[in-house]
């Protein structure tokens, strides 16, 4: 049995229905190509426009601020373009020949596309601190998703900790929703302000400047902010849940706050699992402290049939993601030899590139200012790095001392990165811990090797996939 609603073939497959994926699918379908947009969530929007069309909040603008309208418009345009939007669909493999492995409603099926646009966006950078696995510790992004999708806010003593714009945005949204925040612990290193100052001219022209200053002011009026936090620890109570957050500010004595919910955040990084498993080359980006794919002027990866749009190609934010989605789709149309009435494609691409350039103004300032401190990226020995297999930083360092050269060998030593999350929560930390221990660059250590399926799929689903007589003959005896 194959998934009932899955087409066997299409011209362009887009994976991920955030701003990049929605924009890419819209362009491709408008050009008359058969386009399918696969998305794992129940409704389109991605994380930035999460639940844009389905939120239970009666007045989302009053709580979330502007921005939901853009998500609604993107989803509406995409639906009207003729693209097929398949929500609740998990793409667990992408091959260089354009074959996708897709699960929908409990059944798996291959879908063959002539071109693939990967638009899987970003995930929150891991923030490995002692106690980060305790129930009661979550990410700030998770709290925002609960607010957008379920109208839920943290209860009791809520502490926010980390650095980056999302932390302040969530604090402002909680305030507007009438939810109290006990404290915001800002881990932005003080030295970052000096380093970022030289990028200030670019940021002065950024659309995020006014928004950012407004947020900072709004939050500081209502939330106690502790700046210059250099150490952070979540502590459990007798119930096994979070009870307290302890922190240090430089040389000062340790301070402690009772807490029921700790929300961590230190920026976002590209979600590279699918692109890496497809064989797209990635390089270490030291400014954004992440691996990012090598892309050409049309956002095509080193695998000719695969383009990468949006934050998955490097963090740029929602507006840049949208323009990158359009550019990637235009590149796909060009590669597939689709018609170009009036020679409009080059103009549209130039327009998208100009938008990307404008949107990236000020990015260097944000990347430098909110570059997480090494202490929160390369943790002390006792801290768990791999949450799934419960591997501490000390055990990784022991493995390095025994001669383990990189994250692939580390799998055999410690199973680190082999749990259900497949390295999503630990790979950046593992790379940086090993790089530091060996005294080489993170790029030299590399990313843990990823293979399909990049999301768990049941054997029953794989066994039930359609096969050809040739494929069956190849494995049957007698």
User: Cβ 127 to other proteins, closest distance in Å?
Assistant: 11
**β-strands 137-139, 261-266 pairing:** parallel
* Bridge partners, residue 13, by sequence: 36, 116
Q: Which of residues 373-392 bind other proteins (CB under 8 A)?
A: 387-390
Nearer to other proteins by Cβ, of 28 and 153: the residue is 153
User: Cβ 86 to other proteins, closest distance in Å?
Assistant: 14
User: Cβ 99 to other proteins, closest distance in Å?
Assistant: 22
Q: Which of 26, 35, 47, 427 binds other proteins (CB under 8 A)?
A: 47
Cβ(18)–Cβ(324) below 8 Å: no
User: Cβ 6 to other proteins, closest distance in Å?
Assistant: 18
Q: Which of 164, 424, 432, 445 binds other proteins (CB under 8 A)?
A: 424
User: Cβ 160 to other proteins, closest distance in Å?
Assistant: 15
User: Cβ 406 to other proteins, closest distance in Å?
Assistant: 23
Dist CA 455 CA 103 (whole Å): 10
Cβ(258)–Cβ(154) below 8 Å: no
Interface stretch with other proteins, choices 160-168, 416-424, 438-446, 466-474 (CB under 8 A):
416-424
235 lies in the binding site for other proteins (CB under 8 A): no
* Residue carrying structure tokens 């670019």: 202
178 lies in the binding site for other proteins (CB under 8 A): yes
Q: Which of residues 137-176 bind other proteins (CB under 8 A)?
A: 137-139, 141-143, 145-146, 149-156
* Residue of 11, 10, 24 lying closest to 338 (CA atoms): 11
48 lies in the binding site for other proteins (CB under 8 A): no
**Distance of alpha carbon 410 from its chain centroid, rounded?**
24
262 lies in the binding site for other proteins (CB under 8 A): no
| Secondary structure (DSSP) of 206-273 | -THHHHHHHHHHHHHHHS-EE----EEEEEE-TTSSEEEEEEE-TTSPPEEEE-SEEEEEE-EEE--H
367 φ/ψ angles, rounded to the nearest 5 degrees: -60, -40
Alpha-carbon separation of residue 320 from 92, 197, 254, 324, 358 (angstroms): 26, 23, 41, 6, 8
* Residue of 340, 456, 332 lying closest to 14 (CA atoms): 332
User: Cβ 267 to other proteins, closest distance in Å?
Assistant: 14
In what helix (H) or strand (E) does residue 269 lie, and over which residues does it extend?
Answer: strand 268-270
Interface stretch with other proteins, choices 132-140, 190-198, 216-224, 405-413 (CB under 8 A):
132-140
Q: Which of residues 269-298 bind other proteins (CB under 8 A)?
A: 271
Q: Which of residues 444-463 bind other proteins (CB under 8 A)?
A: 455-456, 458
Nearer to other proteins by Cβ, of 88 and 202: the residue is 88
- Residue 67: strand, helix, or coil: coil
Q: Which of 5, 8, 56, 354 binds other proteins (CB under 8 A)?
A: 56
User: Cβ 19 to other proteins, closest distance in Å?
Assistant: 15
Dist CA 455 CA 92 (whole Å): 5
123 lies in the binding site for other proteins (CB under 8 A): yes
**Size of interface with other proteins, in residues (CB under 8 A):** 52
Q: Which of residues 24-43 bind other proteins (CB under 8 A)?
A: 40-42
**Distance of alpha carbon 209 from its chain centroid, rounded?**
23
**Distance of alpha carbon 1 from its chain centroid, rounded?**
33
In what helix (H) or strand (E) does residue 211 lie, and over which residues does it extend?
Answer: helix 208-222
Q: Which of 9, 190, 198, 241 binds other proteins (CB under 8 A)?
A: 241
* DSSP classification of residue 230: -
Q: Which two tokens stand for residue 41?
A: 């969530």
Nearer to other proteins by Cβ, of 177 and 375: the residue is 177
Cβ(433)–Cβ(385) below 8 Å: yes
Nearer to other proteins by Cβ, of 369 and 426: the residue is 426
Binding site for other proteins (CB under 8 A): 40-42, 47, 54, 56-59, 63, 88, 123-124, 133, 135-139, 141-143, 145-146, 149-156, 177-179, 240-241, 260-261, 271, 387-390, 419-421, 424-425, 455-456, 458
């Amino acid at each position: 049995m194959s998934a009932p609603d899955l087409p066997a073939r299409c011209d362009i497959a887009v994976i991920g229905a955030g701003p990049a994926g929605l924009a890419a699918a819209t362009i491709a379908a408008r050009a008359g190509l058969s386009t399918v947009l696969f998305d794992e969530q129940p409704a389109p929007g991605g994380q930035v426009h999460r639940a844009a069309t389905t939120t239970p909040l009666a007045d989302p603008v009053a709580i979330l601020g502007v921005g939901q309208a853009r998500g609604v418009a993107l989803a509406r345009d995409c639906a009207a373009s003729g693209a097929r939007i398949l929500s609740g669909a998990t793409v667990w493999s992408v091959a260089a020949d354009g074959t996708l492995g897709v699960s929908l409603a409990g059944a798996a099926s291959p879908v063959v596309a002539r071109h693939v646009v990967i638009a899987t966006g970003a995930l929150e950078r891991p923030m490995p601190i002692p106690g980060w696995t305790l129930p009661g510790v979550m990410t700030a992004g998770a709290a925002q998703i609960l607010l957008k999708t379920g109208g839920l806010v943290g209860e009791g003593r809520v502490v926010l900790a980390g650095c980056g714009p999302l932390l302040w945005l969530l604090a402002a949204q909680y305030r507007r929703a009438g939810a109290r925040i006990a404290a915001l612990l800002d881990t932005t290193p003080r030295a970052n302000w000096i380093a970022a100052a030289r990028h200030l001219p670019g940021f002065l022209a950024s659309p995020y400047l006014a928004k950012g200053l407004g947020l900072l002011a709004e939050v500081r009026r209502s939330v106690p902010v502790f700046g210059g936090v250099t150490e952070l620890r979540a502590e459990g109570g007798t119930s096994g849940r979070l009870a307290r957050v302890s922190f240090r500010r430089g040389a000062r004595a340790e301070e402690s706050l009772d807490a029921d919910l700790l929300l961590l955040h230190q920026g976002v990084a590209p979600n590279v699992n699918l692109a890496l498993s497809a064989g797209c080359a990635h390089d270490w980006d030291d400014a954004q402290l992440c691996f990012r794919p090598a892309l050409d002027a049309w956002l095509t990866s080193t695998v000719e049939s695969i383009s990468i749009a949006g934050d998955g190609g490097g963090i740029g934010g929602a507006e840049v993601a949208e323009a990158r989605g359009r550019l990637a789709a235009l590149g796909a149309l060009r590669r597939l030899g689709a018609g170009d009435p009036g020679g409009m494609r080059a103009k549209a691409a130039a327009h998208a590139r100009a938008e990307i350039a404008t949107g990236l103004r000020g990015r260097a300032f944000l990347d430098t200012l909110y570059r997480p401190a090494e202490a929160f990226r390369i943790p002390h020995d006792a801290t768990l790095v791999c949450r799934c297999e419960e591997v501490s930083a000390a055990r990784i360092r022991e493995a390095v001392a025994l001669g383990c050269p990189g994250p692939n060998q580390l799998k055999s030593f410690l199973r680190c990165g082999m749990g259900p999350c497949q390295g999503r929560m630990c790979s950046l930390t593992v790379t940086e811990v090993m790089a530091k221990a060996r005294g080489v660059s993170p790029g030299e250590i590399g990313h843990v090797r990823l293979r399909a399926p990049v999301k768990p799929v049941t054997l029953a689903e794989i066994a039930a996939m359609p096969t050809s007589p040739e494929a069956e003959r190849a494995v049957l005896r007698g």
